Amino acid sequence: MADCFSLYGTNLVDTATTTASSTNAQFPLSNLLDFRRSKVFRSTSNTSNIVLDFGSAKTVNGIFILADKRNGFGGQTMSIEFNSSNSWGSPAYSVAVPLSESLKIGNVSFPDISYRFARVVINSTLGYGELSKIFIGQKIALGASINFGWSYKNEDLSVKSKNRYGQIFTDTIARQKALSFAFKNITKDDLDLINLMLDDKGENKPFYIAIGNDLMAVDYRRFSGAVMLDDIPTVTNSSFNRFNLSMATKELM
């Protein structure tokens, strides 16, 4: 069931040189690197784009686009183009990222490609285009999948209070996904790949996961997205050269 789980660590966007076709000074491109989803980039036109230069050709097989949890996507459609040069008349590869307004996420995976440049194209009817967070990169090449029996909870962060007359007031806030899963009897090679990611991310940097496929859920993006660790996982040696590791995560907000 390895196709039912993907773990993504290194986000090429974090180190890319970025330029935008237009920028609202109140919502700069640097907001893409802020871990808070409420910090967004915003353009000044309905049709806009962001060009990313990775410095050299990089392997990509997965994309995530995240919306502001309160306000949703700042565009009706978003696509990513790839090319070996910063020329976009006929890009070498292009992929549309299907967006779920209810889940506030867009996600697509595809076979490995390798290019130096990417261009995010945003089409909107709002008078501007907006982007909260984007991941462009490749999944970690694990030999094993998670152990099925993982857990998912959609926690409501709203605060409800009642006055002395019995009236209820609600401070409505977005929900937050909590995902917990475990790897069992993995090899030292898989453990090393996971530890490399955990050493880099720790508890204060996001990484991305995708759990499920079309056979498991109508829209398995419900179980996917950017997460942070609740705690550094504990590794146990289940048998010689085999290890168990469990993760408790919370959705990036």
Structure token digits, residue 126: 């709002």
State what percent of residues in the chain have pLDDT above 90: 85
d(CA 108, CA 210): 10
Which residues have CB under 8 Å from 165's CB, separation 6+?
A: none
CA gap 25, 36 in Å, rounded: 18
- pLDDT digit string, tens, across residues 103-161: 999 999 999 999 999 999 999 999 999 999 999 999 999 999 999 889 999 998 888 89
- Map tokens 């974090």 to a residue: 14
H helix intervals, the chain: 188-201
Residue 217 is predicted with a pLDDT of 85
Tell me how far apart the alpha carbons of residues 244 and 195 are, in angstroms, rounded to a whole number: 12
Query: What is the rounded average pLDDT of the residues 21-46?
Result: 98
Q: What average pLDDT does range 6-21 have in this prediction?
A: 97
How far apart, in whole angstroms, are the C-alpha atoms of residue 91 and residue 96? Answer: 13
**pTM of the predicted structure, to 2 decimals:** 0.94
Confidence of residue 249 (pLDDT cuts 50, 70, 90): very high
> Nearest 10 degrees: CA dihedral of 203, 207, 213, 214?
110
Q: Residue 2: pLDDT above 60?
A: no
State how far the alpha carbon of 95 is from the alpha carbons of 142, 203, 237, 248, in Å: 25, 32, 42, 32
180 SS3 class: strand
Q: Are the C-beta atoms of residues 186 and 144 closer than 8 Å to each other?
A: yes
What percent of the chain is predicted at pLDDT more than 70? 99
**188-210, pLDDT tens digit by residue?**
999 999 999 999 999 999 999 99
pLDDT, tens digit, 9 for 90 and up, residues 220-235: 899 999 999 998 899 9
Q: In which band, very low, low, confident or very high, does the pLDDT at 1 lie, cut at 50, 70 and 90?
A: very low
Supply the pLDDT for residue 93.
98
